[in-house]
Chain A
């Protein structure tokens, strides 16, 4: 066993030391595998970043009510009567004056122009009720001030002002044939709300001819356990017909759909590219074995067995692939980690998020690269192990 390991170590060391003689083909393989790993990790980082942004949105202390069966806010409609009934639900936190902390909200889509591409994209314009600030926590005005109720004033999330033109503090614009002014910018800890524009709900109801309807109601609960009481209250009253969810649960569901979609795009693309890289790895390793045919046959003639030749070739292939995997991971980290991207969320509006690479994703990328290295090494290694010893006697 010890001698076999010594033989394997010697053959592997020889293979690796002779790499400079095959530097271009080896480099091509490393680059191909690095690209595959890089593409996969970029998609995974995108899905991860999106999920972290969306799933990080919302609170377990906030309940969201939507029309029964509407998966997203954009599809929901609630009548004024339902909002009033909901105010009577048990378990809702109360303001100092005894009113429940509840915010009826409208959710409409407006156009924005992306700074990066100059293209139009959908932006969510949310109308908030007067108590919205007390319902939501963790929202901080970082410049300017909150909008005045009853006015055409807007506050915008940081991602909106960063990614879209014309939303800086003091900017004027026309929405729904009206003039608006941005009076503040808010931070929401990097979650989905930062991709939104906020205004007074009653102003938006008028401008968008929604009458007294809203799309959702958010309310602060006494505690997360109150959710079941509110749900039971809603189920018991046939006039309500609502989907009652904790805000956190609502956004988790939203993140899963789009996050999964990105994943389902990323893996097949990476696997398709893997076949190209695999062909490159096979080519390189066959070339490597052929270039060393005389050396391998000489070692076999001296008394080395086939196993060290097989394992030595496998190790060479796996090391090349591993280098490709590390280069791809490092490249993705340097090029993509932390950069902002925007994609359509469940409400057909842009969600701005940061690509986020994690160690578990890097591990997935490295595993893929090693699988390519393994698959690309098996057949050449088999050829090396079966190399006819007569090759040692061939003319150069």
Chain B
């Protein structure tokens, strides 16, 4: 087994609703090795997206530790978390979350604006990312001129353009038809296998989960694990 990329140690997460404290996780432990492809399934409200937010440094745990690449990240301030996300995490959302006023290439370039790369280097990286997702010919198209599958491929290109170690996918095929979903999931598999990206994917769909190396079932704040070959 590879070195763990992410380790959760006794992570607790509670939300406050009015005067009530609602627990999501109580002392959750988890380890995700480098180059793993994990599908996280579970009923609505089981905390799948909360887990993704914690892994991506979007949300902070109420207790416990989160270690990323041997460094604690749960105690970083907002500014350092932003830098952490920019350097280490690529997000792929269910509804793509592309900027409607920007072209595909401009959308893909966004994470690179946070790096020291100059315009020429950025342009090269954007070109490569779009080639990887097979959308070189759609670089100048705006999201409204692309199909759902194409938009998600642009989102994947945006997620990988700055070469992060971790890709976090929130229901990446939830808004796509079966055939297109298959294409997207195959692409994630390729990114995991060929480029060594560690992927954590939240999904409701058992078919989608089959593309992962293993599936974790989250229910009532605890995991049960199933290993599935794609």
Partner-B contacts on A (CB < 8 A): 3, 6-7, 10, 14, 17-18, 21, 294-295, 298-306, 389-390, 392-393, 395-396
Contact = CB atoms under 8 A, between A and B. Distances in A.
Contacts of B56: 301
B93 A392 contact: yes
B102 A14 contact: yes
Nearest to A6: B113
B91 interface: yes
Given A17-B102, A395-B95, A305 B79 contact: yes
Interface in B165-207: 170
B59 interface: yes
Overall SS of chain A's interface: helix
Interface of B: 49, 52-53, 56, 58-59, 78-79, 82-83, 85-87, 91, 93-95, 97, 99-102, 110-111, 113-116, 158, 170
Given A14-B101, A17-B102, A3 B91 contact: no
Contacts of B102: 14, 17
Contact of A393 (B49, B110, B114): B49
What are the 7 A-B residue pairs with the smallest beta carbon separation, nearest first? Answer: A303-B86, A17-B101, A298-B97, A303-B85, A389-B58, A18-B101, A303-B114
Contacts, number: 71
B59 A302 contact: no
Contacts of A299: 110
A3 B82 contact: no
B78 A302 contact: no
A7 B79 contact: no
7 contacts: A17-B102, A18-B100, A301-B58, A303-B111, A304-B82, A392-B58, A393-B170
A10 B113 contact: yes
B170 A303 contact: no
Contacts of B79: 305
Given A14-B102, A390-B59, A393-B53, A302 B114 contact: yes
Contacts of B87: 303
A392 B114 contact: no
Contacts of A395: 94-95
A384 to B, nearest CB: 15
Contact of A390 (B53, B111, B114): B53
A392 to B, nearest CB: 6
